[in-house]
């Protein structure tokens, strides 16, 4: 983490100005500022973690590269990190988790097309997780095809039903797919 700003001013990049109906070069702090009330700048200059004035955009492919958080989440995170705090940005279109003895998979679209065979990748990550013996392979295939971005119970004998939250128990990302934030 490079720096933090409360009530940041957004200097709009020229590339974004070209996409605006009414281009502006600067957006001052306030309700019209898409950065929200807090911004955490990362060592990769084009990225930041920030709030938003439009919460429905959180978690969607509507950003220009930043990581948007709900206003209440960035307000919680902001005081917990200091300049120099290390971190990583991980690209994980497939995640496995376990909650109350059930195994879940969350599959997202491979928007960066890093995995030519997402199903094969899912089974590779599953094998590395050590959870494979407890998983219904056909339900995993169905979840990979669906790419809903919602955790799906894939425990042997379970119906395929979306679940809202799980604890991540395995987060494997090949080394070449990591971006260090120093």
pLDDT score, position 159: 62
Interval 132-178: pLDDT, tens = 999 999 999 999 999 998 999 999 986 645 544 445 554 444 433 43
CA angle 104, 106, 110 (to 5 degrees): 150
* pLDDT of 31: 93
Which of 63, 62, 67 lies closest to 91, judged by CA? 67
pLDDT at 104 over 90: yes
Active site residues: 50, 66
Looking at every residue in the chain, the average pLDDT score rounds to 86
**This prediction's pTM:** 0.67
What's the token pair of residue 177? 């797919």
Residue with tokens 């001013």: 9
Q: How distant, in Å, are the alpha carbons of 138, 165, 168 from that of 124? A: 15, 23, 17
CA–CA separation, 82 vs 97, rounded Å? 29
Number of Cβ within 10 Å of residue 105's Cβ equals 25
Strand order in the sheet with 48-50: 3-6, 38-41, 48-50, 67-68
* pLDDT tens digits along 14-45: 988 999 899 999 999 999 999 999 999 999 87
Q: Collect all residues with Cβ–Cβ distance below 8 Å to 121 and sequence separation of at least 6.
A: 93, 94, 115
């Amino acid at each position: 983490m490079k720096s933090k700003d409360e009530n940041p001013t957004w200097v709009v990049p020229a590339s974004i100005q070209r996409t605006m109906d009414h281009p502006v070069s600067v957006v001052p702090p306030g309700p019209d500022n898409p950065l929200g009330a807090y911004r955490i700048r990362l060592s990769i200059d084009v990225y930041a973690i920030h709030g938003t004035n439009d919460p429905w955009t959180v978690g969607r492919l509507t950003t220009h590269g930043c990581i948007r958080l709900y206003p209440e989440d960035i307000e919680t995170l902001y005081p917990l990190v200091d300049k120099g705090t290390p971190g990583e940005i991980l690209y994980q279109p497939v995640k496995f988790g376990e909650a109350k003895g059930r195994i879940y998979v969350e599959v997202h679209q491979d928007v960066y097309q890093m995995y030519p065979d997402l199903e094969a990748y899912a089974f590779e990550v599953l094998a590395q997780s050590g959870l494979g013996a407890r998983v219904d392979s056909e339900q995993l295939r169905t979840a990979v095809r669906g790419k809903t971005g919602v955790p799906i119970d894939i425990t042997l004998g379970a119906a395929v039903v979306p679940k809202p939250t799980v604890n991540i128990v395995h987060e494997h990302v090949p080394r070449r797919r990591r971006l260090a934030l120093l």
